[in-house]
Each structure stands twice: as structure tokens, then as C-alpha cells.
Amino acid sequence: MRIAVQEEQFDLGAEANSFARGNVAHGAIVTFTGVVRDLATGDLDVMEIEHYPGMTERALTKIAQEAQKRWSLGDVLVIHRHGRLEPGERIMMVATAAPHRKDAFEAAEFLMDYLKSRAPFWKKEITRSGAEWVAARDEDENALGRW
Amino acid sequence: MRIAVQEEQFDLGAEANSFARGNVAHGAIVTFTGVVRDLATGDLDVMEIEHYPGMTERALTKIAQEAQKRWSLGDVLVIHRHGRLEPGERIMMVATAAPHRKDAFEAAEFLMDYLKSRAPFWKKEITRSGAEWVAARDEDENALGRW
Amino acid sequence: MDVLYFAWVRERIGIPKERVETRAATVAELVAELSEREDRYAAAFADISALRVALDQELADFDAPLSGVREVAFFPPMTGG
Amino acid sequence: MDVLYFAWVRERIGIPKERVETRAATVAELVAELSEREDRYAAAFADISALRVALDQELADFDAPLSGVREVAFFPPMTGG
């Protein structure tokens, strides 16, 4: 299991390749990547991501361990950035490896659902018209009901 | 939409990066990669994948178009290899981009479920003790019931 | 019409493709006709519930009509992915 | 104990962290105590249904006891991912 909370950019391709190389005993690999949307309006200048150092790593580790308990998984990778991000930059990624695709998919969705609502990150969008904290969406909280 | 049926290896990382670069207007990117399992027994020497040239491309295109009809998607990528593959080699990948993670995940699972049971590929495992066609699994056929 | 065989169907029948002249009206009639030819066909088609058929590269049923069809393919359930 | 604030809670209160001496038995009592201090606290804690709290870096409820707790953090619902 690798949990990385970092300010620097990460290379999705390099991470996916390295994750896959470490999991050749598992037939199925799923990755999810979140990208700062380059909105059609072209309005977004910067996204700032604040987090709670210490708790963030604990929360992500706990979520990943829970995924490993619930599904038959090879490895789990979680990378999440903080700081200032520009449109088009990658915010975060998760990767799961499993003998069967259903496990790899479900575990990745579980990681995302919990990461969204239970890991201490907060997004702020800075646009021409000002700065605004992104509001939590009910559907993200409701997504936890599935598990 | 890109559909590739090929004998050559593909680079998961390069494909994932290139797919992500083409989809910066979409916040969520999901990839699924299938790997020839390097079984614990070390028994598998080679996997041969036969396909039905012509029908394969048609079937994959139809499945990808159906996914684009059902979900709000940016782009869809499907790569599937045929020929002789060694343990640890990547067999295939799909990638989906969408504004929301739920769409990206569901569309990727849909693509995989249909690809498994509706695209004309057949796997043969060649081991020390002989060669055997991989049997279709009931659960793969049943997975279609979800959609 | 062209008749194609894949995977173990191809191995049992011994060829990947052949040209067949037939008056069979449906896939099932074509299967019956081929099965009468030689044992290797009868062996390949012994249990059609274990087989799939495509007409002009689209999956079809065994009772589908053959009129106008140029390419018939028989194969086991797919195992890609 | 240390009290930490994140996101708009931090912005409203104006500091990311402070040391608080309190005899509050629960989170809710601590919130009431802080809210009485100054308007900026009252404004930040006006609607606790819009807030989350962590005790020693674990999510907790507002009626959770504070005994033995060294670090309390207040913040809005998370929006990572």
C-alpha cells in the first residue's frame, strides 16, 4: 500500500506503469484520476486545495486498509495533491489491483467515495469574479450508503 | 473514440497520459487494464488470444457507442491484443473520461462486461501439461444483467 | 457463403474457413447439414448450447434465417478481456 | 489543548490554530465557550450542522467528550477527490 499526500505534480502514466509492474500476479488493474476541470467558461484560474497534515495520511491509510479488508486485493495506491493547481492538472489518483475485475472496480469506487467525504481536503476555486470554497455535495455523502 | 485491436504490446502509462491529456474538460478518468496472470504455480508459459478480424472491431465500436449513449462521457478508449502473450504482459485496457466519477466508473465496467462476453476473443492457456481453451464463466454472462 | 470457425470449433473441424453451397434456410439447418458430412463436424456441433453463431459479423440465434447472409461464423462463448 | 481550523472556518476565525485552556466536557461545550468569546467565533460556529469536528485526528460527534483529547479540529464537510 502506498499513500502519498504531496504538493508536487505526479505522472499518471509513470504511476500506472509502476503500479502495474508491481502487480503481475493480479489480472485486473483499475485507476481513477481526478483532474482540475478546464471549464468551458474558461473562468477558473486556480484551484487551491487545503488539507489537514497528519489526519490526511491517517484517514487515507484507514480507508485503504478498509478496502483491503473488504476485497481480495493485491495492492492499493492513493496519491492526493494539495496547494495551488491549474486547470488541466491532476488532483489525485487511486489504483487497485485484484485477481478479478469486479473487486478492482468496487475497491476503487469505495476508495473514491470515502476519500471524497472522509479525507480532510477542501477545495477552493479562484475565478475572475472571486474565490469560493467548493460546497460538499449531498450525493457524495449519500454515495457512502452503498458500502 | 479510439478502438485498437493489435498484436503489439501497448504502454499503459503512455496511453493513460495521452488519454488524460485529451480530456482536460472532464474531471474523472477511469482506466481498466487486464494482465496475463503470472500464476503462483508458475505453470503458465504462454497465453494465445484468437479473434475474429472484422467482427472484433465492429463489436468493440458498437459497445463503445452504446456506452457513449448511456453515459455522459468525454472520450472512450479500447485496446485489445491478440496473438501470443507471456505472463505479466498486458492483454487489454479501456479508459473512460466523464464530468463525474460515477459515469466514468459505470461506463468502464459496462465496457468490460460487454467486451468479456460479446467481443469475439478466445483465450488459450499453454502450460507444461498442455494447451487448454479458457472456459467462459457464468458470472461473466450474468454480469450483463446489470445493464 | 463463407463459413468460419474459431477457437476449439476451428480445431475440431480442422480448418478456419470454407466455402459452403447450401439451401439451408436457417443456421440450425446449416448445422444439421454440416453435421451429416463428417464426424469432425458432428463432434464440433454436438452441443450447440456450447456454441455461438454470428451472421455477417453480428451475433445471431440458431433459428435465424440465412437468406442474404454472406458470412457465417461458429465459435465458443467469448473469453476476452 | 490545540484547536485547529480549516477552510472557511479558518478564514472566518482568522487563525489556523490556537492553544485553548478549557474545562468544556464535550465538543458542544467548547463550541459554546468559543462562540461567546468574539463575533468571529460566533459567526464560524453559527450553524454546526455545516461543520465537522475531529478529535486527535479522528472524525467525532459534537457530543463527544473531550477528556484526554489533545487536538480538536473544526472544518466544513470535506471536498477532496
- The pLDDT, as a whole number, for residue A23 is 84
Q: What share of chain C is helix, strand, coil (3-state, %, to 5)?
A: 35, 25, 40
Distance CA(D21)–CA(D70), nearest Å, equals: 11
Residue D71 is placed in which grid cell?
A: 487536538
Which pLDDT score, from 0 to 100, does residue B60 have? 98
- C-alpha dihedral (B14, B18, B19, B24), degrees to nearest 10: 140
Q: How many whole angstroms separate alpha carbon B45 and alpha carbon B43? A: 6
Q: What's the rounded mean pLDDT across residues B61-89?
A: 96
R_g (Cα) of chain D, nearest Å: 12
- Beta strand extents in B7-147 (DSSP E only): 28-35, 44-51, 76-81, 83-85, 90-98, 121-127, 130-133
Is some CB atom of chain A closer than 8 A to the CB atom of B99?
A: yes
pLDDT band at B128 (very low <50, low <70, confident <90, very high): confident
User: pLDDT per residue over C35-78, tens digit each?
Assistant: 999 999 999 999 999 999 999 999 999 999 999 999 999 999 99
User: Which of the four pLDDT bands, split at 50, 70 and 90, describes residue C12?
Assistant: very high
For C2-75, CATH gives 3.10.20.30
Helix and strand tally (H, E) in chain A? Answer: 4, 8
Q: Is B34 on the interface with A (CB under 8 A)?
A: yes
pLDDT of residue B137 exceeding 70, the answer is: yes
- Taking CB atoms and an 8 Å cutoff, what residues of chain B touch A87? 24
pLDDT exceeds 80 at position A40 = no
Residues of C within 8 A of B5 (CB-CB) are none
* pLDDT tens column, A103-113: 999 999 999 99
Cα nearest neighbour of A47 on chain D: D80
**What type of residue sits at position B104?**
A
How near does any CA of chain D get to the CA of A73, in Å?
Answer: 21
The answer to whether C4 and C17 have CB atoms below 8 angstroms apart is yes
Can you tell me the distance from the alpha carbon of A35 to that of A86, in angstroms, rounded to the nearest whole number?
10
Phi, psi of A90 (to 5 degrees): -85, 130
Look at residue B107 and tell me whether its pLDDT is greater than 70: yes
Could you tell me the CA-to-CA distances from A143 to A55, A115, A131 in Å, in that order?
22, 11, 27
CB neighbours (10 Å) of residue D61? Answer: 11
B140 CB-near residues (< 8 Å, 6+ apart): B113, B116, B117, C81
Contact A120 D76 (CB under 8 A): no
* C58 contacts B116? CB cut-off 8 A: no
Question: Considering only CB atoms, which chain B residues are within 8 Å of C80?
Answer: 49, 51, 80, 92, 115-116, 119-123
Q: How is chain A split among helix, strand and coil, in percent rounded to 5?
A: 35, 35, 30
Query: CB distance C6–B116 less than 8 Å?
Result: no
Cell numbers found for residue A22: 508491481
A35–B20 C-beta distance less than 8 A: yes
Dist. CA B123–CA A92, nearest whole Å = 35
Q: Are B125 and B132 in contact (CB under 8 A)?
A: yes
Taking the domains of chain B in order of start, what are their residue ranges? Answer: 2-144
Nearest CB among B115, B133, B141 relative to C80 is that of B115
B2-144: CATH class: alpha beta
Q: Return the C-alpha cell found at C47.
A: 452441443
B111 vs C contacts (CB less than 8 Å):
none
Predicted local confidence at residue A43, as pLDDT: 76
What's the burial of A8, exposed, middle or buried (CB within 10 Å: 0-12/13-18/19+)? exposed
Query: Interface pTM (ipTM) of the complex?
Result: 0.94
Residue B4 phi, psi (nearest 5): -130, 125
**CB-CB contact of A35 with B27 (8 Å):** yes
Is A52 a residue whose pLDDT tops 60?
yes
Residue from B15, B18, B24, B116 to probe the interface with A (highest A Cβ count within 10 Å): B24
Query: Contact partners of C by the rule of 3+ C-beta pairs under 8 A?
Result: B
pLDDT in tens, D11-58: 999 999 999 999 999 999 999 999 999 999 999 999 999 999 999 999
> Nearest-CA neighbor of B105 among A113, D47, D39?
A113
What percent of chain B has a predicted confidence (pLDDT) above 70? 97
Domain boundaries, chain C: 2-75
Percent of chain A with pLDDT over 70: 97
Do you know the residue count of chain C? 81
